[in-house]
Structure 1
Amino acid sequence: MEKKSTKPIFPTGIYGITAEKFSGGRSNLEVVRAMIAGGISILQYREKRPRKSFAAMLEECRAIRDITREAGVLFIINDYPDIALLVDADGVHVGQDDFPVNEVRRLIGDEKLIGLSTHSPEQADAAVQAGADYIGVGPIFSTQTKDDVCAPVGLGYLEHVVRTSSLPFVAIGGIKEHNLDRVLERGARTVCLVTEIVGAPDIAATVRRLQAACA
């Protein structure tokens, strides 16, 4: 009998990402709890060295894994498949210059999600061939959240992915509440807003409002 896959299903709605430097002095754990209180269903831990040591990130991810597991929220770790394995996260997200998808798959197995950031139609096509489970599409608009961010890809690339890609995707990069409708109108069903959420005075209320807009 063929074994049934237990790989998580990629959800629609708001995709949360931690960004402690933009969180107004609040810790990642505080922000995660508030996002979950707002109804988020998928959350990515993103922390770039050398801001934190591996030991500190591991400790933080273990705590977030406990919180997300209890809440039934998917937990993705950016860049670090080793930490994802150690805390039993639901998946890993990598960029074009990180470990290749096939190598990450060898490490984490077939039951966890792998997301891959893409910035062009060619990269979206390659993600399918590489075996990614979902792709990031962006940055849609200009963003300063990441230090090494590429130029905005614009709404045209998003429209291309909506028309042609067989993979689920998350639209990301410079998306704010005031331009969210432009992204949704073009067919995005999972959307990431980083600073708009982690920097909000009331994170839970902001997530609820954004989730309602997506619905």
Structure 2
Amino acid sequence: MIKQNNLKKQLSLYFVMGSQNCKYDPVETLEKAIQGGVTFFQFREKGEGSRTGEGKIELGLQLKEVCHQYDVPFIVNDDLGLAIELDADGLHIGQEDGDMKKIKDSLKSHQLFGVSTHNVEEALEAHRIGVDYIGVGPMFNTNTKEDIEEVRGPVVIKEIREQLPGIPLVGIGGIKHNNALKVIEAGADGVAVISDIAEADFPTRAAERMLKDI
């Protein structure tokens, strides 16, 4: 089980990916990204071109195996049933993905629970029910998600950090190597990245560059 004091360090480079995001094979992309320094992984298999059913489960198991070879937490996006079936290290949900308390209570004791938030009020509510970490966004404009909220940027991280000084925070949304430092400087423990690594010609170099820039 991941300890809270270690979780902040593990959130430093949080890679979010599904097969539909990748320029190359997703399993190969993930391994190369981890070799470049990715510390946390979220399996987000949704949207046009994504796998479903047994194909999704099979890919999840392959990605989980890669993560565990390198001691990187394997987190499932949105899908409680999939997180339990894959025995993932945790689940990450958004504000519209169901009753947070009921979902948290359905997870196994060793599984982490993360929630995406957009403002201080949502972050305080997530903290109240006992989430392990909070995603905050969108930090910048992004094409990865169609249902994007208003972009207020890293200032939201600062506002939440002032209210919740001890909670692990990760910035999400439109983060690239050239703007990631702003998110860290605002008080985030890490940055969540999709396209800057998943669509890179060399995922290892992309991850290394991101870590260098933060």
> Helix, strand or coil for the counterpart of 1:143?
coil
Over aligned residues, Cα RMSD in angstroms?
Answer: 1.7
Residues 77, 89 of structure 1: 8 Å contact kept: yes
2:24 counterpart of 1:31:
no
Alignment match, 2:138: 139
Deviation at 1:121, TM superposition (A): 0.8
> Helix, strand or coil for the counterpart of 2:104?
helix
Q: Which amino acid aligns with 1:27?
A: D
Deviation at 1:132, TM superposition (A): 1.0
For 2:183 and 2:108, the matched residues in 1 are separated by: 33
Moved over 4 A (4+): none
Alignment match, 1:184: 184
For 1:62 and 1:22, the matched residues in 2 are separated by: 18
Residues 68, 75 of structure 1: 8 Å contact kept: yes
Q: How does 1:20-99 map to 2 (within 5 A)?
A: 20-24=19-23, 26-48=24-46, 51-99=50-98
> Deviation per CA, 1:84-107, whole angstroms, max 9, x where unpaired?
111211000000010222222222
> Helix, strand or coil for the counterpart of 2:45?
coil
2:209 counterpart of 1:209:
yes
For 2:152 and 2:129, the matched residues in 1 are separated by: 22
Q: Which amino acid aligns with 1:129?
A: R
Deviation at 1:65, TM superposition (A): 1.2
TM-score w.r.t. length of structure 2: 0.90
CA change 1:21–1:65 in 2 (3 A) is closer
CA change 1:52–1:20 in 2 (3 A) is closer
For 2:145 and 2:55, the matched residues in 1 are separated by: 20
Deviation at 1:7, TM superposition (A): 4.0
Q: Which amino acid aligns with 2:205?
A: A
Deviation at 1:172, TM superposition (A): 1.0
Deviation at 1:153, TM superposition (A): 2.6
CA change 1:181–1:49 in 2 (3 A) is closer
Q: Any stretches of 5+ residues in structure 1 without a counterpart? A: 1-5
For 1:161 and 1:106, the matched residues in 2 are separated by: 25
Q: Which moved more, 1:138-147 or 1:14-23?
A: 14-23
Count of matched residue pairs: 208
Q: Which moved more, 1:172-181 or 1:132-141?
A: 172-181
Alignment match, 1:196: 196
TM-score w.r.t. length of structure 1: 0.90
Deviation at 1:15, TM superposition (A): 0.4
Alignment identity in percent?
A: 30
CA change 1:22–1:63 in 2 (3 A) is closer
Alignment match, 1:163: 162
